[in-house]
Amino acid sequence: MSTTPNPLARGAHTALRVVSGLMFFFPGALKILGWFGGMPAGVVLTPLVRTAGWMEMIGGPLILLGCFTTPVAFLCSGEMAVAYFHSHQPHGFWPIQNHGEQAVLYCFIFLYLSAAGGGPLSIDEWLARRKARGAPQPD
């Protein structure tokens, strides 16, 4: 359950989670399902790229819904760190040089969400409230 009293911060947390989860889903759907035009001609889907695609396609909607946010966001943050150092960093030191800005941003957004949890309007918060209501009250 979120303890942030500021309604703007609560709304921003929800918006960040929903938008980043949705945007994270798209590359996975492109890689695995061939949606949105599919992979460009000549791009080989290695086992590492397929694994990343599945993580994006499953992790994105889970983050969007705020379901198991802490572990899912942590795994997705790690995936983005691997993507950056495996695919981008060899092409230059700075993200602007190696086109890794998106991977770095996702990595840190998901690291934040893994620490902050699902926040308001999430399945995680709904489950926590439900559990708190059902817990026996001390006498």
Please give the average pLDDT of every successive group of 10 residues along the chain, which has 139 residues.
72 95 96 87 86 96 97 97 92 91 96 94 92 74
Nearest to 19 by CA among 52, 72, 61: 61
- Give the model's pLDDT for residue 62: 98
CA distance 71 to 62: 10
Q: What distance in Å separates the CA atoms of residue 17 and residue 124, rounded to the nearest whole number?
A: 12
Q: Measure the N-to-C terminal CA separation of the chain; round to a whole number of Å.
A: 24
Would you state the pLDDT for residue 81?
Answer: 96
What's residue 40's pLDDT? 81
| Helix (H) or strand (E) segment spanning residue 11 | helix 7-33
pTM: 0.86
Side-chain-facing half-sphere of 112: CA atoms under 13 Å: 13
Give the pLDDT confidence score for residue 55 in this predicted structure: 96
39 contact partners, CB below 8 Å, separation of at least 6: 30, 31, 45
88 and 95 Cβ atoms separated by less than 8 Å: yes
Residue 73 contacts by C-beta under 8 Å, 6 or more apart in sequence?
59, 63, 110, 111, 113, 114
